[in-house]
Amino acid sequence: MNPAIVIPTFWGRGDNSGPLGWRGPFDRSTPLDAKDPQLEACLASLDQVDGVLRVIVLLAASAEDEPRARERVESICAAHPGLNPLVIGSQEASHVEHAVSRMAHHVAGETVSLHGYGAIRNMGLAVSAILGHDVVVFLGEDRVATDADFLLKAAWGLGSLTRQNLRVLVKSGFFLDEGGDPYARPNSEWSEKYWSKAADFNRVMERAQMEAPRITRSNHLCGGCCALHAAAWSKVPFDPYITRGEDLDYLLDLRANGLDVWFDNEWSVGTQPAGEQASAPALFMRDMYRWLYEQRKLDVMNARRDLRTITPESLMPYPAPWLSPQVRKRAFHTALRRFVTGPDRLAYLKILTKGRYEADKIARLTSSRYLSFAMVWPGIVSALWRDEMIASAIRLTGEVASALSATAPSDPLEETGEIPTVGESQ
C-alpha cells in the first residue's frame, strides 16, 4: 500500500456567515492570529507515527485571508519535514480544477475544490490520485494520533475479506474526548428535545464498541478518522452539494453503490479543544439544509434501478430517524423552541418564516445533482491517476520541505501505474 494522510485545515477571521448561514464559511475555523493552531498539534502527533509517507494539507480560506493563512500553514508544515508535507492552496488546486472542468463541464457547481466540505474531500482524493496514492487516510486537524501504530491500524484489514466474503474498502475509526470517552454528550435542554442526536448515536457507538469482532459493518463514518481504498473512492465521490455531514452522506453513497463502511473498534484518535465556531443559528440552518437535502436525495437514489435500495431498517437506530419526512417537524419544533427561549430570537424567527421553506426548495432542486457528478467521477480519477504534468506543477509550489528518504513500498502500483483493483490490496 501507498497511503497518504489528508488533513483539511480551515482558517479565517471568525464567523462571517451569509444569510441564515448558507454555504459561506465553515462550522469552525482557526483564527489567523491563533497562538496554538490545531494543525500544529495534529502534525506534531504524526511525527511519532510509523510509516508516514506523505501528508497532504488542504488549505481552506477566503481569497482575502489565504495569503496570511498560507504563511501560517507553511510555517507549521516546515517544522515537520519528516512528514513530507504538501500544501494544497488555491494555486495548487487550480491545476486540478481546470483538469476536472474539462471532463465535467456539464456538472453544476464546484465539485472538486477548496470550497464546501464534500468538494474539499474530493480535492484530497484527486490530489492523491495524481500522486498515485492507493489509500487515503483522512485526519481532522482537530484530532491527534495517540500512538505510533496509527497508520498501521488504519491499514489493518483494508482490502481484506470478511467471513461473509465482503471486501473491506472503507474503514472508520472513532475519536475520544479529553476524558477518553467515545460517546457524545446528550443535551437535555427543553429547546433541544427534537434536535439532539446524541442518544441515537451513542447506541450505534456502544454496539460497535461492544462487538466481539474488531471490524464490523457500520452506520457511522468518522470523517476525522477514516481510511479509504482507491477501489472504493475511485468509483464513489463525496457529495459536493451537501452543507455539512459529508462523512455520513458518503456512507449512504457507498451503500447505494454496493459498498459498506466498516468500523474498527481498535483505531481511534484524540480530540483537541474546538476552534472558533459559527453561530448557533448558522449551524442550525446548515443542518436543516443538510437533513432536508439528505432525505430527498435518498429518495432519488432509491428510485434508481442501478443503485442498491437503502431501507430505513438498515439505518436504525441512527441515522434513520433523520432521513424521513419527519425531519421537517423536528426542524420546525426546534426553531420554535429556540425562538421562545432565546437567545438569537430574530434569527430563529427568520428561519421559521423563511429559512425552512428555502431549505426545502433548494433540497428539491438539487437532490439529483450528485448522481450526475458521480457518473463522471470514475473517468475523472482515471484521467488524473499519476498525471505527471499536474503532479509536477503541484509539487513546485506545494512542497514545503523534503521528506527524509524512505524506501518505496513494494506495490504493483509502482510497476503498472494503474488504479488498484480490489484484488491488489492485501
In the predicted structure, residue 162 carries a pLDDT above the cut 90 = no
* CB-CB neighbours of 276 under 10 Å: 16
Task: Of 191, 194, 196, 195, give the one whose Cα is nearest residue 338.
Answer: 191
In the predicted structure, residue 120 carries a pLDDT above the cut 70 = yes
In the three-class reduction of DSSP (H, G, I as helix; E, B as strand; rest coil), residue 43 is classed as helix
As a whole number of angstroms, the distance between CA 90 and CA 28 comes to 20
Q: What's the pLDDT at 22?
A: 43
Q: What percent of the chain has pLDDT over 70?
A: 91
Q: Could you tell me the CA-to-CA distances from 205 to 194, 222, 245, 303, 308 in Å, in that order?
A: 20, 11, 17, 30, 25
Residue spans per domain, the chain = 3-277+370-395
Q: How confident is the model at residue 163 (pLDDT cuts 50, 70, 90)?
A: confident
Farthest-apart Cα atoms in the chain, separation: 65
Count how many Cα atoms sit within 13 Å of the Cα of residue 177 in the half-sphere of its side chain. 7
The CATH code of the domain at 3-277+370-395 is 3.90.550
- Residue in this structure with the C-alpha cell 436504525, named with its chain if needed: 316
> pTM of the prediction?
0.92
As a whole number of angstroms, the distance between CA 115 and CA 110 comes to 7
Q: What's the pLDDT at 274?
A: 74
C-alpha cell at 285: 440552518
Three-state secondary structure of 409-421: CCCHHHHHCCCCC
C-alpha cell at 203: 447506541
Per residue in 366-398, pLDDT (tens digit) is 999 999 999 999 999 999 999 999 999 999 999
* CB-CB neighbours of 210 under 10 Å: 9
In the predicted structure, residue 253 carries a pLDDT above the cut 80 = yes
Weakest-pLDDT range from 88-92, 151-155, 277-281? 277-281
As a whole number of angstroms, the distance between CA 246 and CA 296 comes to 15
In the predicted structure, residue 267 carries a pLDDT above the cut 50 = yes
Q: What's the pLDDT at 83?
A: 97
Mean pLDDT, residues 143-166 taken together? 94
Per residue in 10-28, pLDDT (tens digit) is 998 754 445 544 434 588 8
